């Protein structure tokens, strides 16, 4: 029971991170119908910016921790968003209306490019940072001394994700941007006719997705304390799985899917085998795509004739 509870907490924190990344996949898919394969690497860039940020702050003498975290979050979001914007502008926008696999291939190229770029400029070695937020609550203790911990870091992750989700949902539901996005999802030509700036809307979608991925990157850096240039691949696949599982195109779906993947991974690693935990993620992806490609919150598609 205690063990179970601990895995639940771990799974929830992990799942929140996947959910934040999954939103980027789902939004882009919703609006231009492509899988942004490079999104995992955008998240990786966010994580690296966090490493750079925390290291730099540490070198200049440090700051009051909440201030440092806030500062790094903002820096990472801004700079990662720039990457998101450029990726769309350079690799995807020229391909609208090209043949159907072109954007996906371009995205794979982008992913390889980003990974190797970071490897080149930041080095291939694992980057460790000293823990930023330490400590937590001890919730329970079992007779044999096993304790259930809820670390401050986990609280930060879960709360921050919740807050972002609320802000973000409001943004989509209430603002002109959200309306333009939904209009573009339905029909880009019509949207353009009624005066919506389609290019800008799509750009903004990428920017927002990248910023959220950056938050995930910062959280992961603080949570695990290590980052390398390759983390984007696995995290990307898992987050994509989350998006599919929740029903690609659906925002709450992405969050639910993320949490599910986080939980499954945590429990799988705890009760079955840690070595095969990545296989678990891939297997879920494969199964989900085969048996329920429209996801938990999506509706089946009919082949358009």
Partner 1 sequence: MTTPLLHVEQLTMKFGGLTAVDAVSFTAERHDITAIIGPNGAGKTTLFNCLTGFYRPTSGALTLTHDLGEYLLERMEGHQIAHQARVARTFQNIRLFEGMTVLENLLVAQHHKLMRASSFLIGGIFKLPSYRHAEEEAVMLATKWLEEVGMADKADWLAGNLPYGDQRRLEIARAMCTDPRMLCLDEPAAGLNPRESAELNQLIKNIRDQHGCGVLLIEHDMSVVMNISDHVVVLDYGKKIAEGTADEVRNNPDVIRAYLGDDEEEEA
Partner 2 sequence: MSWRLSHDGLREVLMVMMVAMLLLLPMVGLRTVDSSSGLGIDLHIAAVFWAVLLIGLGKKSLVAARENIPVIAYPAACVMLLSGFLAPLPTGFLEFFALAGGFICLTNAILMTLRGGRPISKNSFGEGMDVVATKIQAATPQVAWVMFAIVVALPFVFPDRYVLDVSILILTYIMLGWGLNIIVGLAGLLDLGYVAFYAVGAYSYALLAINFDLSFWVCLPLAGILAAFGGLLLGFPVLRLRGDYFAIVTLGFGEIIRVVLINWYQVTGGPDGINSVPRPSFFGLAEFTRRPSGDLPAFHEMFGLDYSSIHRIIFLYYLILVLALVVNFLSVRLRKMPIGRAWEAMREDEIACKSLGLNRTNLKLMAFMISATFGGFAGAFFATKQGFISPESFTFIESAIILAIVVLGGMGSQLGIVIATLLVIGLPEIFRDLELYRMLTFGIGMVLVMVWRPRGLLAVREPSIRLHGLHGKGAKS
Residues in touch with partner 2 (CB under 8 A): 34-35, 45, 48-49, 51-53, 55-56, 58-59, 75, 79, 82-83, 85-86, 90-91, 94-95, 98-106, 108-118, 120-123, 125, 127-130, 233, 237, 240, 244, 275-276, 278-279, 282-283, 285-286, 289-290, 293, 303, 305
Q: Say if strands 226-227 and 147-151 run parallel, antiparallel, or are unpaired.
A: unpaired
Closer residue to partner 1, CB minimum distance, 144 or 301: 301
193 near partner 1, judged by CB under 8 A: no
Size of the site for partner 1 (CB under 8 A): 3
Binding map of partner 1 across residues 274-303, x = CB under 8 A, - = no contact: ----------------------------xx
Contact of residue 252 among partner 2, partner 1, none (CB under 5-8 Å per partner type):
none
- Residue 144 contact partner, candidates partner 1, partner 2, none, CB within 5 to 8 A by sort of partner: none
In degrees, rounded to 5, the angle at the alpha carbon of residue 88 between the alpha carbons of residues 215 and 230 is 50
| Residue owning tokens 């998006």 | 243
Strand pairing partners for 148?
140
Q: Report in angstroms how near the CB of residue 230 gets to partner 2 at its nearest.
A: 10
C-beta contacts of 124-129 below 8 A and 24+ residues apart:
124/228, 124/229, 125/228, 126/226, 126/227, 126/228, 127/48, 127/51, 127/226, 127/227, 127/228, 128/225, 128/226, 129/51, 129/54, 129/55, 129/58, 129/221, 129/225, 129/226, 129/227
Give CA angle at 213 (211, 215), nearest 5°: 75
Whole-angstrom distance between the N-terminal and C-terminal Cα of the chain? 53
Nearest distance, CB of residue 305 and partner 1, angstroms: 5
- Distance, in Å, from the CA atom of 95 to the CA atom of 88, rounded to the nearest integer, reads 10
CB of 242 to partner 1, least distance (A): 27
302 binds, among partner 1, partner 2, none (CB under 5 to 8 A by kind): partner 1
- Residue 166 CB, shortest distance to partner 2, in Å, is 29
CB of 215 to partner 2, least distance (A): 16
Q: Which residues pair with 141 in a beta bridge?
A: 147
Toward partner 2, which CB reaches closer, 120 or 190?
120
Distance of CA 138 to the CA centre of its chain: 29
Interaction site with partner 1 (CB under 8 A):
302-303, 305
């Amino acid at each position: 029971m205690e063990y179970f509870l601990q895995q639940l907490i771990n799974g929830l924190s992990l799942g929140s991170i996947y959910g934040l990344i999954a939103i980027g996949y789902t939004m882009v898919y919703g609006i231009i119908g492509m899988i942004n394969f490079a999104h995992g690497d955008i998240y990786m860039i966010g994580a690296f910016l966090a490493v750079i940020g925390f290291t730099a702050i540490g070198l200049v003498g440090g700051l009051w921790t909440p201030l440092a975290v806030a500062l790094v979050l903002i820096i990472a979001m801004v700079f990662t968003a720039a990457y998101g914007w450029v990726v769309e502008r350079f690799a995807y926008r020229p391909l609208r209306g090209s043949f159907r696999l072109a954007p996906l291939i371009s995205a794979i190229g982008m992913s390889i490019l980003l990974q190797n770029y970071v490897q080149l400029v930041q080095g291939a070695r694992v980057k460790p940072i000293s823990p930023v937020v330490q400590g937590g609550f001890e919730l329970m203790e079992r007779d044999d001394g096993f304790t259930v911990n809820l670390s401050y870091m986990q609280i930060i992750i879960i709360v921050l994700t919740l807050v972002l989700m609320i802000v973000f949902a409001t943004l989509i539901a209430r603002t002109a941007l959200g309306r333009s996005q939904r209009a573009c999802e339905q029909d880009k030509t019509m949207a353009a006719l009624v005066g919506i700036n389609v290019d800008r809307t799509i750009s903004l979608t990428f920017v927002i997705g990248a910023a959220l991925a950056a938050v995930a990157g910062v959280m992961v850096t603080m949570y695990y304390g290590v980052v390398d240039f390759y983390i984007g691949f696995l995290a990307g696949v898992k987050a994509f799985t989350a998006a599919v599982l929740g029903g690609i195109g659906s925002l709450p779906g992405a969050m639910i899917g993320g949490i599910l993947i986080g939980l499954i991974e945590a429990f799988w690693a705890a009760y079955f085998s840690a070595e095969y935990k990545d296989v678990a993620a891939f297997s879920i992806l494969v199964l989900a795509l085969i048996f329920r490609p429209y996801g938990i919150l999506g509706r089946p598609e009919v082949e358009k004739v």
